[in-house]
Amino acid sequence: MTEMMKNIKKAIVLMMFAALSVTAIGCAKDEGPLPISEMARAQAEGIVSGISNTDDASSAELHAMEEADVKAFFKDYGYSIEGKTFLNGLDGWLGLKEEFGQVQSISDPQMSSDKDTVTALFIVKGSTRDGKITVIMDKNNKITSITTSADYTIGEDMEKAGLNTVLGMGTTFVILIFLSLIISLFELLPGNGGRKTKEAEKSTPVDNVVSQIAEREELAGDDALVAVITAAIAAYEGGASAGSAGGDGFVVRSIRRHY
């Protein structure tokens, strides 16, 4: 037997001793009407004991195994758990273990259940902070989830929330700047330049037509003004003779006012 298998077997044996001790104690207690079996309690206690006593080296050896082999290994010792579920639970514990400082104690499980699951809650006492380990099982006492959480103060939670907000806003601004740069590069594409030239060429004849129409309107206005001025001059020159005709054929009649 290799050294790795010996270490794993040692960890499993520790779990089994813990499970047997919990089972023996549980038999002497009256659980009342709660539909929680001693097998569920024993499994939760054994798994938590094994996880909390596994170091990084043993974790690496377990991760080197196939998930199916990990599942079969636990099944040989009476545990119903998927290999992936155990490895994820182990990683969660090792990832937060330093947050607790020196682990002083892990409480007995606080068992609860609903119509679908059985939950075992363990309180972790540490020198730096406390935490919780939660084990969830289905109706058949199969362990489906193992999670570890640390208890943070309100100030620490607010600090983390603020940091997450800043990171989120920063990420958003970076994305917006990146999109702006991409949009600005569209103007440098050859197709867009040719399209703008064609649009400019199309707009030039239209502008010429508009300017010609405006010029014609101005000329027409000038002709009307000339005719008015000519009529005024003719009226002035022939003001003394009523009914006289102007040089251009204008007939000017004098208007006399009667008082």
Domain ranges of the chain: 3-151, 157-187, 206-259
Residue 135's nearest CA partner among 55, 22, 25 is 22
**For position 136, what pLDDT does the model report?**
95
Residues 6+ apart with CB under 8 A from 230: 248, 250
**For position 164, what pLDDT does the model report?**
79
Residue 95's nearest CA partner among 136, 131, 67 is 131
Q: What is the pLDDT of residues 212-249, one digit of tens each?
A: 655 555 555 556 666 666 766 666 666 544 444 444 55
Q: How confident is the model at residue 51 (pLDDT cuts 50, 70, 90)?
A: very high
Rounded distance, CA 168 to CA 94, Å?
Answer: 27
Sign of the CA dihedral with 151 first, then 154, 158, and 161 last: positive
Q: How confident is the model at residue 200 (pLDDT cuts 50, 70, 90)?
A: low
Does residue 205 sit in helix, strand or coil? helix
Q: How confident is the model at residue 35 (pLDDT cuts 50, 70, 90)?
A: low
Q: Report the range of poorest mean pLDDT among 128-142, 144-158, 189-203.
A: 189-203
Q: What is the pLDDT of residues 96-141, one digit of tens each?
A: 999 999 999 999 999 999 888 999 999 999 999 999 999 999 988 8
